[in-house]
Structure 1
Amino acid sequence: MGKKTIHVSDFSGTVLRPDDEVVRVVVLEHPDLVAGPVQLDATVTEVEGIDDAALDVAVVEIHDLHAGGEPRRVVLTASEFDAMATDTPMAQLLRTAERVRPPKARKSTEKIDYGTLDHAGRPHRGRVTEEEARLVREQLDEVNKRLADAGVRQIDPADPEHALRYGFPATD
């Protein structure tokens, strides 16, 4: 018995032929997106109007005492944001404003223990210990939820590489 894989557009459900140019669309933010970024497949014609539909927006963070001191991200149209500048045009303000420097990355001297539930299953180059493999096998749903929340790949026991790495039984 043979198997045949058919690829379809996530947008329209149309079968994608081998000669179709497939476009990968990564959704970074959406009100219905709950577990981090996702990717969708589509044809070039399905997404050709996406640039025309794009909005000019400003994405800002408000740093105040709300939300326990955590900044809150706000998306608004660029024209609404520009209208907030009443003394100097916004374009000029943005050119002369103080630059925000990202925080310097600290080198961690602590080794991550992948044999704990907090880190088990995260992608890493090192050898998978029996403790990590056991945690992944026994608590796969919890591990995959944590991985999805972090926006990293989830573990699929049917994937031969994952099965070998974490000791899942081979499937035929």
Structure 2
Amino acid sequence: MGRKTVHVSDFSGKVLQPDDEIVRVVVLEHPDLVAGPVQLEAQPIEIESIDDAALDVAVVEIYDRHGGGEPRRVTLTASEFDALATDVPMAQLLRTAERIRPPKGSRKAAEKVDYATVEHAGKPHRGKVTEEEASLVREQLEEINKRLADEGLRQIDPTDPEHATRYGFPLPN
């Protein structure tokens, strides 16, 4: 029994031909997004107006008594945010404002990632895939692909010759 993968545009439902260019769109934030980032596929023509529709926005965090100790993240148009500066123009205010750095404890140290764990197996990396990682990917492919998708990363396709070689799947005919 063989497998055939058919790509369909998530935006239009149109079947994409093997020679069609496919654009990957990762949705990071949306009011209807409930379980983290997702990826969608489309043809370039379907999303060509996306840059024209893009908004100039300011994303700010507000630290006040209403947040219960946590900042509130607010996104507003850049012009609405700029209008809040009444003494000097916002551009000047931003150039001269005090720079902040994340607290030392919040910066991730350069940790060595163990790709032979369910938490990291299958993530794209430059290093050699160990037999432990490859075995884990082969044995728990569905779970690993779900995690990769939830993290907005490419999923592993055992029929892709590169993935098959990298993770020890049988090579497709």
- TM-score over 0.5 for the alignment? yes
Name the residue aligned to 1:162. Answer: 163
Residues 1:99 and 2:99 aligned together: yes
**Cα 1:24–1:81, aligned 2, differ >3 Å: closer, same or farther?**
same
RMSD: 4.0
Paired AA for residue 162 in structure 1: H
Matches within 5 A, 1:77-116: 77-101=77-101, 108=110, 111-116=112-117
Query: Taking structure 1 as reference, are residues 30 and 42 closer, same or farther at Cα in structure 2, changes over 3 Å only?
Result: farther
Instruction: Say how many residue pairs are matched.
Output: 166
1:28 Cα shift? Answer: 4.4
Amino acid at match of 2:90: M
TM superposition score normalised by structure 2: 0.65
Indicate the larger mover: 142-151 or 9-18: 9-18
What percent of counterpart residues are identical? 68
Asked whether the 8 Å contact 1:9–1:43 carries over to 2, the reply is: no
Instruction: Measure the CA separation in 1 of the matches of 2:7 and 2:132.
Output: 37
Name the residue aligned to 1:26. 25
Partner of 2:124: 123
Taking the aligned partners of 2:19 and 2:120, their CA distance within structure 1 comes to 41
| Partner Cα distance (1:18, 1:152) in 2 | 22
Q: Normalising to structure 1: TM-score of the pair?
A: 0.65
Q: Distance in 2 between matches of 1:126 and 1:101?
A: 31
1:4-37 per-position Cα deviation (integer Å, ceiling 9, x unaligned):
x9987654456779999x6846344341455536
Pair 54,115 (structure 1): closer, same or farther in 2 beyond 3 Å? closer
CA distance change for structure 1 residues 61 and 141 in 2, over 3 Å: closer, same or farther?
farther
User: How many angstroms apart in 2 are the aligned matches of 1:7 and 1:135?
Assistant: 27
